[in-house]
Amino acid sequence: MATSKQSAASIFGVNLRTGMAVLTFRLLLATLAAVAMITAVTTVAGAQTYHVLYNFTGHADGGNPAGGLEMDARGNLYGMANDYGNGNCSFGGTVGCGTAFELAHKGTGWIFNLLYTFTGGNDGQAPSGRMVFGPNGSLYGTTVFGGGGDCTFGQGCGTVFNLTPPASVCKSALCPWSETVLYRFTGGSDGNWPQLGDLSFDHSGNIYGTTPQTVYELLRSNGAWAFNLLFAFTQQDGGCCSFSGVIFDQAGNLYGTTYAGTTGCGLVFELSPSAGSWTYNTLHNFLFGTDGCEPQGNLISDQQGNLYGTSPQGGAYNTGTVYELTPSSGDFSVLHAFYGGVEEEGPFDAVVFDANGNLYGTTYGGGSHDRGNVFKLTPSGNGWIYQSLYDFTGGSDGATPEDKLIVDASGNLYGTTSYGGTGNCNGGCGVVFEITP
């Protein structure tokens, strides 16, 4: 069975970006050129226009963005870089512990603001999921390593953290946010190394997430956070290694995916609250040659409660699928099977809807240059029409997009690539991009 570069690394808990050249950091934070106005690289692709909003340098700003972007009400973008930065970490061939950043609108351009530099100690190392806004308007996320705990490689077991802006209006170009670690994983029954999944919140502001081994809740009480184990994956339930987050439906049920299952290709699961506990149910086991294989991206749902997700492997052509699943009936359908050679890789993370019901996503290794692409699926009759919106070249435009896109109210798409661009990293340091209709 084919195995993706990212998912194979994830199973063993190693840094998702390996083989990077060790760099000597020559830039001090105070002289970071990235805080100046960004000049975008623009490419016209069919009816769409592709813009590079920011090229990571692999210095103080970080490199190899992971998890995707979050957008605030003003249209500013927030994300994390998995590697580099000024933190004192050295693991998997890279130097630095990762960063959190903002791309803020200024006129017709964008300003890069470094929000936080991870140090690799108790605060965490290698942020890899997407930061999301919580009910209080601040940002929440996870790191794979750091935080303490006796886990393999001596890198720590990972954290859940909160970033809050300064209490007063910042008048300088560099305006760091404050980090609070809400939970440090121990590597015991709570699990370790939280991966690419988004965090979710209930109506009371409690946090829900996953590690490869567990589904958990962080309960807020008197200003503190308590860990509550909802479910631990075992061979008996057929699930293993959850790299996605979990999402709620209107009834309070949780849904997620695992990388492996009873068929060897992963599954979609449901956790239903019942009398203070949670009941686990397997909704669908993936079949390699038809459904797809090794799902690891986040799920989304429509207004009817149907679930949509992706798989990077398997399917009719062994290059991944986009699928739909109805939890109430168990009905499963493949909306699109990606077509390509055995070395190509399909989508890693979730698809996203626009206001017209079209779906958008990215592939890690597809497209005409084998460096990934941005695609659109348009509903038509009883099927979906596939269109490639942009094929990455691996040059200054970026390469290997892994994460979920954002669609704004005007139909503009925003995303990141893990590699490519002009930065001084092995394979490039990645970019933030925009596609306008």
* pLDDT one-digit tens code per residue, 185-200: 999 999 999 998 999 9
Task: Please compute the mean of the pLDDT values over residues 369-381 and round it to a whole number.
Answer: 94
- Give the Cα separation of 63 and 83 in Å (integer): 5
Task: Please compute the mean of the pLDDT values over residues 38-53 and round it to a whole number.
Answer: 70
Query: Please, what is the average pLDDT of the chain?
Result: 87
Taking every pair of C-alpha atoms in the chain, what is the biggest distance, in angstroms?
Answer: 58
Q: Residue 31: pLDDT band by 50, 70, 90 thresholds?
A: very low
Cβ neighbours around 204 below 10 Å, total: 8
Q: Which residues contact 168 (CB under 8 A, 6 or more apart)?
A: none
Is the pLDDT at 437 greater than 90? The verdict is no
The pLDDT assigned to 352 comes to 98
Task: Calculate the alpha carbon distances from 178 to 222, 290, 320, 331, 411 in Å.
Answer: 20, 47, 40, 45, 33
What is the model's pTM?
0.89
Contact between 291 and 336 under an 8 Å Cβ cutoff? The reply is no
Is the pLDDT at 36 greater than 60? The verdict is no
The pLDDT assigned to 171 comes to 64
- Give the Cα separation of 297 and 331 in Å (integer): 20
Can you count the helices (H) and strands (E) in the chain?
1, 32
**Residue 174, CA atoms < 13 Å, CB-side half-sphere:** 12
The pLDDT assigned to 7 comes to 37
Is the pLDDT at 218 greater than 80? The verdict is yes
Token pair in block for residue 276: 């203070």
Using CA atoms in the order 199, 374, 125, 254, what is the torsion angle rounded to 10 degrees? 20
The pLDDT assigned to 105 comes to 87
The strand pairing partners of 100, in sequence order, are: 80, 116
Question: What is the H or E stretch that residue 26 is in?
Answer: none
